[in-house]
Amino acid sequence: MNLFSNPQTNWKFIAIILALGIVVGGGMAGYFQMTKKQIQEVPTNIFSLSREKIPQGWATYRNAEHGYQISYPSDFFLKENSDIIAQDVEAKGAALVFPKKYIPVENFFDANINILVGNNVCPNFPVKKIVVKNGMSFEQSEWTGSAAGNIYEGTVYTAKKENACYRITLQTHLGNAGNFYVDEEKIRDLERRDAEAKQQLLFTLNHILFTFRFIE
């Protein structure tokens, strides 16, 4: 039966049905949008990092004594038995030194990725979040310190195995922007460039972190 060609069709009834359909449909769409928003806003400190291949041309450092390997850009400088000083620990470990081209800011003195292993190098800082990488969990924490116009910062990722901490830290050393410029606008610009450089260093650290492996 064709309702639209039948002269006896109750157009008022059809209009009511169509109006109800629009209202219900709009309500359902709004419900799903609200639910989606609520799901997206659920706070979590678990971040899952996808598997990444080692980029072509990178070098790989294998430490048989402590049972790990890690890869890094081939233009980095590797110090295998370096004296590493952080805010909460002093120990021997491996250091990957960023070339200056990674930190082209006048008050950015140096940046290293330091690797310490042992049961006496576990960080004493609150855990900010947990990063899960290919089934391996890293605790992320941060520290900062200053002395005589110098600013030292560390972003620490710690994995644990057999009661030992495998601590991988991006450690940066900057000069206070106020020591370089007096003009407030120039100071703000320098601090902005410092923050951008730090983000690039963290981006590189994340790629290096993806390559960390335990070995037998």
HSE, side-chain direction, 13 A CA sphere, residue 133: 20
Give the rounded percent of residues in the chain with a pLDDT score beyond 90: 64
**What pLDDT, on a 0 to 100 scale, did the predictor assign at position 73?**
96
pLDDT over threshold 60, residue 39: no
Question: 38 falls in which pLDDT band (50, 70, 90)?
Answer: very low
Phi, psi of 39 (to 5 degrees): -65, -45
Residue 85: burial class (beta carbons within 10 Å; 0-12, 13-18, 19+): exposed
> In the chain, where are the structural domains located?
1-42, 47-214
* Tokens matching residue 105: 């800011």
Stated pTM of the model: 0.74
Question: 210 falls in which pLDDT band (50, 70, 90)?
Answer: confident
Beta strands in 64-193 (DSSP E): 68-72, 77-85, 90-97, 108-118, 129-133, 136-147, 150-161, 164-175
Question: 109 falls in which pLDDT band (50, 70, 90)?
Answer: very high
| Average pLDDT in the chain | 82
* pLDDT tens by residue, 122-131: 999 999 999 9
pLDDT over threshold 50, residue 50: no
What 3-state class would DSSP assign to 96? strand
What 3-state class would DSSP assign to 151? strand
Sequence-ordered list of residues with C-beta below 8 angstroms from that of 15, at least 6 positions apart, any chain: none
pLDDT over threshold 90, residue 24: no
Give the count of beta carbons closer than 10 Å to the beta carbon of residue 158. Answer: 20
Class (C level, CATH) for 47-214: alpha beta
Instruction: Provide the CA 192 distance to its chain's centre, in angstroms.
Output: 19
Q: Which amino acid is at 63?
A: N
pLDDT over threshold 90, residue 204: yes
* Tokens matching residue 74: 């081939």
Lowest pLDDT segment from 22-26, 58-62, 195-199: 22-26
* pLDDT tens by residue, 94-106: 999 999 999 999 9
* Tokens matching residue 197: 């450089």
